[in-house]
Amino acid sequence: MIPAVQATVDHHAIAHNVRLLAQASAPAQVIAVLKANAYGHGAVPVARTALAAGAAQIGVATLAEAFELRQGGIEAPIIAWLHAFDPDEAVAVFAEAIASGIELGVSTSSQVRAVAEAALRADQLAVVAVKVDTGLNRGGFARGEWRKAFADLANAEAAGAVQVRGVFSHLANADRPEYRTNAEQARSLREAVSFARAAGLAPELVHLANSPAVLTRPKALVNELPVFNATRPGVAVYGLSPIMGRDFGLIPAMTLTARVGLTKRIHAGDGVSYGHDFVAASDTTLALLPIGYADGLQRALAGKFEVSIGGRRYPGVGRVCMDQVLVDLGPGEPKVREGDTAVLFGPGSDGEQTADDWARAAGTINYEIVTQLRGRVQLRHIHQREPVDQLRHTHHA
């Protein structure tokens, strides 16, 4: 049975994007960020494609995400950096991560202590990367904590508990390539690496550059060897531009479709859906699509999006409901029938709207559009680009 709502992920596009990012990062290696279920695209299958296309390592936010990849058969290096545990359970959780060969990003002294204890208890070396705050003022060791943090890690390394493999940070303004804080954060990270080396540590990897930094290629942020020798792109892996309006040659990997549930003729003056926010100016036909805000179609998009059916675009009308929305097929005899497939967004190559179009209409960013899909949206993975025509499962009576 064909799902009523489906997000098709094109792995040809994923591979293209990773190769482009690898080329832009070279000679630095790529850590492909697959947090939030690979930005909604499916972590395990995307990991396989990203690694085959040239990514050296996978990055995720949480250990739950890292464990899912390991359980899915991903054996490549994985780093996870966002931890929020009760101190009483942290040692056990970190011990499981160490046993699974997951590199642990650490941001606090309590995390360093828990990781070291977990490693000693398990009699297994913990591989860690030190996250330092260079100006984002979010996660990571603050500048005033660097000296002590690296000294503590050096002691843990000498005790045979940890291996400090990396030092990394995150940019606040990479989507504004010329903004002064980018260079300031790069200088701060270089300084943090100097602190690490002064403490007797020898980190193998130093990474700062995210998708916009990689694609705008400021050398000081991407691959200033020997200091910065890895990059950490996220949204660009999925073909979405990290700078709205800039075309970097990426191919959007996701196409969101929904099957037409019914068509209905209405008359001039008829109101549509809750509140009758839309009133038909003339006789027209509506199509109902079984997707709503419970599936990630934002209420803020009501009356602001279009769908493509049979190669023609039709406007959404009325409110976005929990599990359905309506589109206006216009006057005359409609060519759309029950069971036809509507393309809500895709790469745009067949005239359909894109995630960027939705982001502009909703006043948000393309990251949110793809990561918010949920509920009854089923993922489908393909490994060769399929035209929208092949995504249409037209019902013929």
| 179 given a catalytic annotation | no
How far is CA 265 from each of CA 268, 284, 288, 311, 395, rounded to the nearest angstrom? Answer: 10, 6, 11, 21, 19
Secondary structure (3-state) at 113: helix
Which sequence spans correspond to the domains of the chain?
A: 11-237, 254-392
Convert the pLDDT of each residue in 365-381 to its tens digit.
999 999 999 989 999 99
pLDDT computed for residue 327 by the predictor:
98
Give me the helices (H) in 217-304, please. Answer: 219-222
Convert the pLDDT of each residue in 100-128 to its tens digit.
999 999 999 999 999 999 999 889 999 99
| Unique residue bearing structure tokens 């697959």 | 34
pLDDT computed for residue 78 by the predictor:
98
Q: How many Å apart are CA 363 and CA 27, to the nearest integer?
A: 37
Task: Tell me if 244 is assigned to a ligand binding site.
Answer: no
Q: What are phi and psi of 150, to 5 degrees?
A: -70, -35
Q: How many Å apart are CA 290 and CA 303, to the nearest integer?
A: 16
Task: Tell me if 322 is assigned to a ligand binding site.
Answer: yes
pLDDT computed for residue 296 by the predictor:
96
pLDDT computed for residue 217 by the predictor:
72
Q: How many Å apart are CA 99 and CA 69, to the nearest integer?
A: 14
CA angle at residue 378 from 346 to 393, to 5 degrees? 65
pLDDT computed for residue 153 by the predictor:
98
Q: Which CATH architecture has domain 11-237?
A: Alpha-Beta Barrel (3.20)
Q: At what angle do helices 63-71 and 87-99 cross, to 10 degrees?
A: 30
Q: How many Å apart are CA 132 and CA 290, to the nearest integer?
A: 45
How far is CA 164 from each of CA 6, 156, 213, rounded to the nearest angstrom? Answer: 42, 9, 25
Pick the catalytic residue from 148, 179, 274, 335: 274
Pick the catalytic residue from 35, 39, 293, 367: 35
| 367 given a catalytic annotation | no
Asked: is 254-392 a CATH 2.40.37.10 domain? The reply is yes
Q: How is residue 24 written in tokens?
A: 């832009």
Q: How many Å apart are CA 108 and CA 90, to the nearest integer?
A: 12
* Helix, strand counts (H, E) of the chain: 13, 19
Contact 207, 231 (CB under 8 A): yes
The parts of the chain modelled with pLDDT lower than 70 are: 218-227, 385-397
Name residue 11's amino acid. H
For 154, counting Cβ atoms within 10 Å of its Cβ (0-12 exposed, 13-18 middle, 19+ buried), the class is middle
pLDDT computed for residue 391 by the predictor:
47
The DSSP annotation for 222-243 comes to H--TTT--EE---GGGGT--SS
